[in-house]
């Protein structure tokens, strides 16, 4: 097989120079995210090295003066493979996905073997380039799947699709390149010359897509940063539960829903009383879906835990309580750290009696749970109050707090429902 003379026109060279410059700028941008911004440092470092590799790929491609099947051409394709490998690594780190060592080892082994073939037989260059293109596409496909699934879960399908389309198009370009090289195995260089021209166009298109891929990767990083900042703003740093600010917003939302439904609830109640006078429905029983109760929870003798075992053990006790509470409540309920050793649980779709039973189950569970070897079980004091449309949120929280105070004053490790006699 004769070599295919591969000469780039002046406009093509200029275009590739611009793209090389942009890839260099992208490298510097990712390095800025590593230092001094310190944003996703490990992932950003991978993306920076990937862009530097892209720069080398473009330089190697421009200097393929002795034909597309020269060792320079092989170098450019290996650079593209390395770009894909580093990019996928950055995606995995960014979205916290584990690496499949078996699959990665197999891919790298195939690339290494295919890269050695032209040195043993120059006629094997098309096969070598085809394998490299296919493996590069496989690596990129894996990263794209990870990226799409993570963005879909964290945001929505549209965002995931928009940020993954450039990756998919690039995979298509690599697949076309692989098929084109595969066809050269059974063809002469002269008969495949038009296809070679189309390959150049595909490669330029692919290089442009890499830039879009770079932009979408940065957009994904920024979106996840915003999501992380929102999470930190709404969650307690130590326990991971909702913080006081977030649970207050949740209470407002639940109370507004309960209040807005009051008119229809009252109307239905009157109808039930008129048609079935023997039934004693009250407003909280009519619309159970909007009912909710508040459990104000305090860890008994928390200061003694800090004094006896140290503040590190105290922090562990807080995280233990937070995790256990999260496991004991339903997915529709809400848990939050209200401050210090105080927690709050919102039980949705729950009547007052049911809320008390569930509070008793929580107390009973903690009294038997082992949180530290050789230590007494952690006990809880719980104050319970059920929301009504006639109570403001401040009143609701105040009543739950009064009930909690009564539970602590009565000996701790118990549940007390609010009563007007507390006031």
In angstroms, rounded to a whole number, what is the distance separating the alpha carbons of residues 245 and 243? 6
pLDDT bin (cut points 50, 70, 90) of residue 300 is: very high
pLDDT bin (cut points 50, 70, 90) of residue 278 is: very low
* Section 379-404 average pLDDT: 89
Per DSSP, the residues of 143-154 read: HHHHHHHHHHHH
pTM exceeds 0.75, yes or no:
no
* Section 290-301 average pLDDT: 91
pLDDT bin (cut points 50, 70, 90) of residue 285 is: very low
pLDDT of residue 404: 94
pLDDT of residue 202: 53
According to DSSP, the residues that pair with 296 across neighbouring strands are 344, 383
pLDDT bin (cut points 50, 70, 90) of residue 327 is: very high
Q: Is residue 355 pLDDT above 80, yes or no? A: yes
Higher pLDDT, 209 or 6: 209
pLDDT of residue 11: 54
Of 31-40, 100-109, 248-257, 279-288, least confident by mean pLDDT is 279-288
Higher pLDDT, 55 or 381: 381
In angstroms, rounded to a whole number, what is the distance separating the alpha carbons of residues 177 and 203? 8
Integer CA distances (angstroms), 229 to 223, 233, 238, 350, in order: 10, 6, 15, 32
Q: Is residue 119 pLDDT above 90, yes or no? A: no
Pairing of strands 334-339, 342-348: antiparallel
Of 15-29, 102-116, 183-197, 300-314, least confident by mean pLDDT is 183-197
pLDDT bin (cut points 50, 70, 90) of residue 268 is: very low
The tokens for 26 are 């992208």
Classify burial at 377, counting beta carbons within 10 Å of its beta carbon; exposed 0-12, middle 13-18, buried 19 or more. Answer: middle
pLDDT bin (cut points 50, 70, 90) of residue 399 is: very high
250 three-class SS? helix
Of 48-57, 127-136, 235-244, 262-271, least confident by mean pLDDT is 262-271
Of 107-111, 132-136, 341-345, 387-391, least confident by mean pLDDT is 387-391
pLDDT of residue 73: 62
* Section 44-69 average pLDDT: 72
pLDDT bin (cut points 50, 70, 90) of residue 345 is: very high
Higher pLDDT, 77 or 66: 77
Question: The sheet that has 334-339: what strands, in order across it?
Answer: 334-339, 342-348, 292-299, 380-386, 415-417
Higher pLDDT, 50 or 199: 50
Q: Is residue 37 pLDDT above 60, yes or no? A: yes
338, 277 contact by CB (below 8 A) = no
pLDDT of residue 416: 93
Higher pLDDT, 5 or 60: 60
* Section 242-265 average pLDDT: 81
Q: Is residue 190 pLDDT above 50, yes or no? A: no
Q: Is residue 296 pLDDT above 50, yes or no? A: yes
Q: Is residue 53 pLDDT above 80, yes or no? A: yes
The tokens for 178 are 């692989």
Q: Is residue 197 pLDDT above 50, yes or no? A: no
- Scanning the structure block, which residue is given the tokens 């793209």? 19
pLDDT of residue 343: 96
Q: Is residue 262 pLDDT above 70, yes or no? A: no
* Section 256-265 average pLDDT: 67
Q: Is residue 207 pLDDT above 70, yes or no? A: no
pLDDT bin (cut points 50, 70, 90) of residue 194 is: very low
pLDDT bin (cut points 50, 70, 90) of residue 298 is: very high
Compute the mean pLDDT over every residue in the chain, rounded to the nearest whole number: 80
């Amino acid at each position: 097989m004769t070599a295919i003379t591969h000469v780039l026109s002046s406009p093509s060279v200029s275009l590739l120079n611009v793209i090389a410059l942009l890839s260099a700028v992208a490298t510097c941008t990712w390095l800025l995210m590593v230092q001094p911004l310190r944003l996703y440092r490990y992932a950003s470092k991978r993306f920076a090295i990937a862009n530097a590799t892209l720069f080398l790929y473009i330089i190697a491609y421009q200097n393929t003066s002795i034909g597309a099947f020269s060792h320079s051409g092989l170098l450019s394709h290996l650079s593209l493979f390395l770009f894909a490998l580093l990019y996928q690594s950055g995606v995995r780190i960014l979205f916290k996905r584990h690496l499949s060592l078996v699959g990665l080892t197999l891919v790298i082994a195939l690339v290494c073997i295919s890269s050695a073939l032209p040195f043993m037989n120059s006629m094997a260059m098309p096969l070598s380039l085809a394998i490299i293109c296919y493996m590069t596409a496989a690596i990129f496909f894996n990263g794209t799947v990870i990226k799409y699934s993570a963005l879909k879960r964290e945001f929505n399908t549209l965002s995931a699709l928009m940020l993954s389309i450039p990756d998919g198009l690039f995979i298509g370009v690599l697949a076309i390149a692989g098929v084109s090289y595969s066809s050269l195995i059974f063809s002469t260089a002269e008969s495949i010359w038009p296809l070679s021209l189309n390959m150049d166009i595909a490669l330029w298109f692919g290089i442009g897509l890499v830039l879009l891929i770079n932009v979408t990767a940065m957009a994904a990083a920024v979106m996840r940063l915003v999501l992380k900042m929102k999470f930190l703003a709404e969650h307690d740093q130590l326990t991971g539960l909702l913080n006081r600010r977030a649970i207050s917003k949740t209470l407002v939302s639940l109370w507004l829903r309960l209040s807005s439904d009051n008119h229809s609830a009252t109307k239905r109640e009157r109808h039930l009383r008129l048609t079935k006078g023997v039934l004693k429905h009250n407003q909280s029983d009519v619309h159970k879906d909007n009912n909710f109760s508040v459990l104000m929870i305090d860890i008994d003798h928390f200061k003694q835990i800090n004094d006896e075992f140290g503040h590190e053990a105290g922090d562990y006790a807080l995280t233990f309580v937070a995790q256990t509470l999260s496991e004991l409540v339903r997915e529709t309920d809400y848990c939050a750290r209200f401050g210090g050793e105080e927690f709050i649980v919102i039980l949705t779709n729950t009547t007052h009696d049911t809320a008390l039973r569930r509070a008793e189950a929580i107390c009973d569970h903690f009294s038997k749970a082992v949180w530290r070897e050789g230590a007494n079980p952690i006990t809880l004091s719980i104050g319970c109050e059920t929301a009504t449309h006639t109570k403001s949120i401040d009143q609701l929280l105040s009543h739950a707090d009064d009930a909690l105070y009564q539970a602590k004053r009565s000996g701790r490790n118990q549940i007390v429902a609010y009563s007007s006699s507390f006031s």
